[in-house]
């Protein structure tokens, strides 16, 4: 099998991609082509490397091999070993070297093979890169991107150390921007923005989404790193979600529309800084909020989003805020107990029904 | 090795600057004017100065929690250094960093990083940038003996070695990681032999002897600048003060400290200048006077400088 064919399904996923017409972001008539999420990220990397010679890639097995998920495939052949740089298994030094190179004028994009491995790089990411601009009184900036595939969510049997969703590890630290796109369109535009940003950006890619396809405009575009995106407008209930969970939210919204429930779906595509305003505005309009995240429940993203709802829209709430999250458990291996580990469309539908019936 | 008279002067001047700066820092700390902690460099001046005198202005250094000496040796401004110690807005980091985080980018000091070993990967990355851009610059991470047991050390030396990067890793063996003697923490006596396992040269020098350090550093820096890759340089000295000023030092007795202090690198170098290099006592004393004057001016500047405005507390925050 060619590397391009490697996606979550070929890794043993028991579920299939959602229909791509659930989320349409490019209006008819705009010149565009259909790309997978994986291809969209690759095209963003390729275009930025062509645009700016300071941009280079480093990470484990990203050269000929193309990375564990094939994202950098073909880039090695195009740009060579200097700019698509295979590293030893040294996560902390991959992150630290990205910082050093950034301080010395480059714009590195590093890949850590799985977000689960990034604990090994925690000091360089959270204590060094995140703090340098502040700690030096603005003497420097650290323009890097560290890409980390994350998530399970699709029944892949990759167990406890290759399946986590860990965005809150990084969102908690002042000095890091955290991005988690849900679609090919967002992935490309946010990656370009991340590379052009002067600060460290943690770019979380959902592994199951790599094979999802969608239209991506031909023109050069960048998306803001500070805004939520309203993926579907509605009036009865706000569903806040990110990553793969946006698709379950959209599928739930579509199903409930047939019952006359109007669901607004907000995609937290930049986890940090969090666009509180868009969430608050939406819930003040709908009066109901359901929060959906794949990460574990305790101290997870839904806790933060829920407090934003309380702070911004308490007086407007017509029902308690409900959250739908990953189970508070390490990810198990066997399908029989992996099942139910993460929210699915049915869980989101149930939560919406619950707040609508209050 | 021939070292010019002006270079010798400058070495002595910078060593004295470090010593006098640290004496003031200790005094300020004891008076409660320097908040937090003062982790001082006394006894190790020859290491920073010997290495930094082998560097160009555009070479970069990365420091540690014990880095006043490194920045001063690289040429940092004493006033802005002292102001940072006192948390003033005129300090290098505008009062955001303090003693443990002084960075002076204008003189090639990437900053003092207070997590042991953390400067190593960052220096490796800077060196990677130099190489990719075709610049003949060198990156120097300073670290204590304790850092040689971190993962950063292993990962960083290995990565620099495989990519042949222009890095000189300077291990300053001051015999202690806080209270733990290096001989309790490693099985080997000579830390420089660790270089062999990365396929790079290692050298060990007397860290009280500024000329010995300088000579070894010149060789390593020139090698790096020629594109021949990294070197591990170990300077052997002793930490004259406690881990921080006022630390009880229950792990060593005064007699031991006094014995080591007989090798005070500044006294040794002063004697060398007078006895071997035909400097007069007056010339050396003139430097002492000049340095004391500069330090006093720096202290005055720092004390008279304003604190950062509270309204600026969120400056430099973007996420």
**pLDDT tens-place values along chain A, 358 residues long:** 333 333 334 444 456 678 889 999 999 999 999 999 999 999 999 999 999 999 999 999 999 999 999 999 999 999 999 999 999 999 999 999 999 999 999 999 999 999 999 999 999 999 999 999 999 999 999 999 999 999 986 667 899 999 999 999 999 999 999 999 999 999 999 999 999 999 999 999 999 999 999 999 999 999 999 999 999 999 999 999 999 999 999 999 999 999 999 999 999 999 999 999 999 999 999 999 999 999 999 999 999 999 999 999 999 999 999 999 999 999 999 988 988 899 999 999 999 999 999 9
The fold of A229-357 is Rossmann fold (3.40.50)
What pLDDT, on a 0 to 100 scale, did the predictor assign at position A2? Answer: 35
Are A104 and B129 an interchain contact pair (Cβ–Cβ within 8 Å)? yes
Region B217-235 average pLDDT: 98
The three-point CA angle A93-A98-A100 to 5° equals 90
Domain(s) labelled CATH 3.40.50.970 in chain A stretch across 3-16+24-217
The alpha carbon of residue B319 is apart from the nearest alpha carbon of chain A, in Å, by: 5
Check if the beta carbon of residue A202 is closer than 8 Å to that of residue A172: no
**B132-142 residue pLDDT tens:** 999 999 999 99
* B5-305 CATH: 3.40.50.970
Residue B209 has pLDDT above 80, yes or no: yes
Closest CB from A97, A120, A138 relative to B125: A97
Reference A38, options A73, A14, A83; nearest CA is A73
Share of chain B above pLDDT 90, in %: 98
What pLDDT, on a 0 to 100 scale, did the predictor assign at position A156? Answer: 74
Tokens of B209: 């002897």
Residues of A with a catalytic annotation lie at 91, 162
Check if the beta carbon of residue A118 is closer than 8 Å to that of residue A166: yes
Give the gyration radius of chain B's Cα atoms. 19
**B135-189 residue pLDDT tens:** 999 999 999 999 999 999 999 999 999 999 999 999 999 999 999 999 999 999 9
Contacts of B128 in chain A (CB under 8 A): 97, 100-101, 106
What pLDDT, on a 0 to 100 scale, did the predictor assign at position A17? Answer: 75
Check if the beta carbon of residue A240 is closer than 8 Å to that of residue A214: no
Region B57-68 average pLDDT: 96
Q: How close are the terminal C-alpha atoms of chain B, in Å?
A: 52
The three-point CA angle A285-A286-A288 to 5° equals 135
Output DSSP code: residue B167.
B
CA distances from A279 to A265, A285, A294, B66, B176 (A): 10, 10, 19, 46, 53
Domain(s) labelled CATH 3.40.50.920 in chain A stretch across 229-357
Are A100 and B103 an interchain contact pair (Cβ–Cβ within 8 Å)? no
Report the predicted TM-score, pTM, of the whole model to 2 decimal places.
0.96
Nearest residue of B to residue A97, measured between CA atoms: B125
Q: Which residues contact A349 (CB under 8 A, 6 or more apart)?
A: A252, A255, A256
Closest CB from B104, B115, B152 relative to A93: B152
Q: Is A11 on the interface with B (CB under 8 A)?
A: no
Per-chain mean pLDDT for chain B? 97
Are B316 and A134 an interchain contact pair (Cβ–Cβ within 8 Å)? yes
Closest CB from B111, B152, B158 relative to A132: B111
What pLDDT, on a 0 to 100 scale, did the predictor assign at position A154? Answer: 67
What CATH number does domain A3-16+24-217 carry, 3.40.50.720, 3.40.50.970, 1.20.1280.290, 3.40.640.10?
Answer: 3.40.50.970
Q: Is A174 on the interface with B (CB under 8 A)?
A: yes
Q: Is A100 on the interface with B (CB under 8 A)?
A: yes
Region B268-280 average pLDDT: 96
Whether ipTM exceeds 0.85: yes
């Amino acid at each position: 099998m060619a590397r391009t064919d490697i996606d979550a399904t070929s890794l043993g996923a028991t579920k299939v991609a959602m229909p791509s017409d659930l989320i349409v972001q490019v209006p008819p008539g705009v010149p565009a082509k259909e790309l997978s999420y994986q291809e969209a990220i690759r095209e963003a990397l390729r275009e930025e490397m062509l645009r700016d010679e300071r941009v280079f890639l480093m990470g484990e097995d990203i050269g000929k091999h193309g990375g564990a998920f094939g994202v950098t495939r073909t880039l090695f052949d195009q740009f060579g070993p200097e700019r698509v740089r295979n590293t030893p298994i040294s996560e902390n030094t991959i992150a630290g070297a990205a910082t050093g190179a950034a301080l010395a004028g480059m714009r590195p994009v590093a890949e850590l093979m799985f977000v689960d491995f990034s604990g090994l790089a925690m000091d360089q990411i959270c204590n060094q890169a995140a703090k340098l601009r502040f700690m030096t009184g603005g003497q420097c900036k650290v323009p890097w991107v560290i890409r980390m595939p994350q998530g399970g969510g699709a029944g892949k049997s990759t167990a406890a150390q290759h399946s986590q969703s860990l965005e809150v590890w990084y969102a908690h630290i002042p000095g890091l921007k955290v991005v988690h796109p849900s679609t090919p369109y967002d992935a490309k535009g946010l990656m370009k923005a991340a590379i052009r940003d002067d600060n460290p950006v943690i770019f979380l890619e959902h592994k199951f989404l790599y094979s999802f396809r969608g239209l991506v405009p031909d023109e050069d575009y960048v998306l803001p790193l500070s805004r939520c995106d309203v993926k579907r407008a509605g009036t009865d209930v706000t569903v806040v979600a990110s990553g793969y969970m946006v698709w379950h939210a959209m599928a739930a919204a579509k199903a409930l529309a047939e019952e006359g429930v109007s669901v607004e779906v907000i995609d937290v595509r930049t986890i940090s800084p969090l666009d509180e305003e868009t969430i608050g505005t939406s819930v003040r309009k709908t009066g109901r909020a359901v929060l959906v995240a794949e990460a574990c429940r305790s101290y997870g993203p839904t806790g933060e989003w829920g407090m934003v709802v309380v702070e911004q829209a308490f007086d407007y709430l017509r029902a308690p805020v409900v959250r739908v999250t990953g189970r508070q458990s390490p990810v198990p291996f066997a399908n029989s107990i992996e099942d139910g580990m993460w929210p699915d469309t049915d869980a989101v539908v149930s939560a919406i029904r619950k707040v609508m019936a209050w | 090795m021939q070292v010019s008279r002006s270079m010798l002067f400058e070495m002595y001047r910078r060593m004295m600057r470090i010593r006098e700066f640290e004496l003031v820092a200790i005094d300020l700390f004891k008076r409660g004017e320097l908040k937090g902690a003062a982790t001082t460099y006394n006894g190790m001046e020859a290491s920073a100065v010997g290495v930094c005198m082998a560097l160009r202005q555009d070479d970069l250094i990365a420091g540690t929690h014990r880095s006043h000496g490194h920045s001063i040796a690289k040429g940092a401004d004493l006033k802005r250094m002292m102001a940072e110690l006192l948390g003033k807005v005129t300090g290098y980091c505008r009062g955001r960093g303090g003693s443990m985080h002084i960075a002076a980018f204008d003189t090639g000091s990437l900053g003092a990083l207070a997590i042991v070993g953390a400067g190593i990967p960052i220096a490796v990355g800077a060196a990677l940038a130099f190489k990719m851009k075709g610049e003949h610059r060198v990156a120097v991470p300073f670290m204590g003996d304790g850092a040689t047991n971190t993962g950063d050390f292993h990962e960083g030396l290995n990565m620099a070695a495989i990519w042949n990067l222009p890095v000189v890793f300077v291990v300053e063996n001051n015999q202690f990681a806080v209270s733990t003697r290096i001989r309790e923490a490693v099985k080997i006596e000579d830390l420089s032999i660790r270089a062999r396992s990365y396929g790079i040269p290692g050298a060990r020098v007397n860290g009280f002897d500024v000329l010995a350090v300088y000579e070894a550093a010149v060789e390593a820096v020139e090698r790096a600048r020629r594109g021949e890759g990294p070197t591990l340089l170990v300077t052997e000295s002793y930490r004259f003060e406690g881990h921080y000023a006022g630390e009880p030092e229950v792990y060593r007795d005064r007699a031991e400290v006094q014995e080591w202090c007989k090798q005070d690198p500044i006294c040794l170098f002063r004697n060398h200048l007078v006895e071997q290099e035909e400097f007069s006592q007056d010339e050396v004393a003139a430097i002492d006077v000049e340095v004391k004057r500069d330090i006093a001016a720096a202290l005055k500047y720092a004390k008279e400088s304003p604190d950062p405005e509270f309204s600026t507390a969120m400056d430099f925050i973007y996420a």
